[in-house]
Amino acid sequence: MAINIDQLKSRLKQIQSTTSSGGNSGSEFMWKAPVGKSQVRIVPYAHDKSNPFIELYFHYEIGKKVMVSPSSFGRPDPIIEFAEKLKKSGSKDDWKLGRKIEPKFRVYVPVIVRGKEEEGVKFWSFGKQIFQELLGYIADPDYGDITDLMNGRDITIEHIAADEGGKTFPSYTVRIKPNAAPATQDKTIADLIVNGQKNITDIVKEPTYEDMTKALEEWLNPDASSTTPATKNAPIKGATTATKVDDISNAFSELFNS
């Protein structure tokens, strides 16, 4: 199954009329663009072959650690519920506070990093602007499915540090390579792409409703004793398995185009 381009075009229209911001959750399976130029290849997500873009929401203001919002998975979030009550109180200050504690939007996408392909598939995280740019390329028939394993395209990312050129914040630009090419011709790397992908929820752990309620209470009453929230794993979809790659083209076709 190839990615659903019509679905991504629709999502592009939606985000063009919204605002969002966010940050990053780190681990050995995450990749952050270093200062300078880097090159990556987005690959299909083995746990949702129709869409490699995983949209998540994070709380940065509440608790000692960044928490992924259960709303990312269609479940209730007590912090969002509290934020909504604040915004409806009629107080301007309450409304501002409600907006402040709402979760922030991030997108995660599986990539292989050029020059480090042997490290396997990692997750690259970014915000609304880059997400919109990438969806724009995919919606353009001159580019189409840039994630296609046999006929997709690499992405060049330029990261300019905040202290360069008087910038207050770091900036990122993305450019799609003009020539289509296979993601790899190395059978070992192909095996990592097909069989070695983590489920994002194995990395970004979802707190329980009770854990988030406790974090909110401790934030509202900082004098109360605090403990590290327990977490649980909540898979988005079941993993797809495949046998060891012997023929790259056939393996890609069977796993991602069937």
The full set of domain ranges for the chain reads 5-256
* 187 has pLDDT over 70: yes
Number of neighbouring beta carbons within 10 Å of residue 39: 15
Contacts with 92 (C-beta within 8 Å, 6 or more apart), sequence order: none
Average pLDDT, whole number, for the chain? 82
* 21 has pLDDT over 70: no
> How far apart are alpha carbons 60 and 68 in whole angstroms?
9
Categorize the per-residue pLDDT at 61 as very low, low, confident or very high, splitting at 50, 70 and 90.
confident
Contacts with 18 (C-beta within 8 Å, 6 or more apart), sequence order: 128
Contact 107, 126 (CB under 8 A): yes
* 207 has pLDDT over 90: yes
Residue type, 132: Q
Number of neighbouring beta carbons within 10 Å of residue 31: 22
The C-alpha angle 145, 193, 54, rounded to 5 degrees, equals 55
- Model pLDDT, residue 28: 83
Q: What is the pTM of this model?
A: 0.75
128-139 vs 5-15: helix axis angle to the nearest 10?
140
For domain 5-256, the CATH class is alpha beta
pLDDT digits (tens, 9 = 90+) for 133-163: 999 999 999 999 999 999 999 999 999 888 7
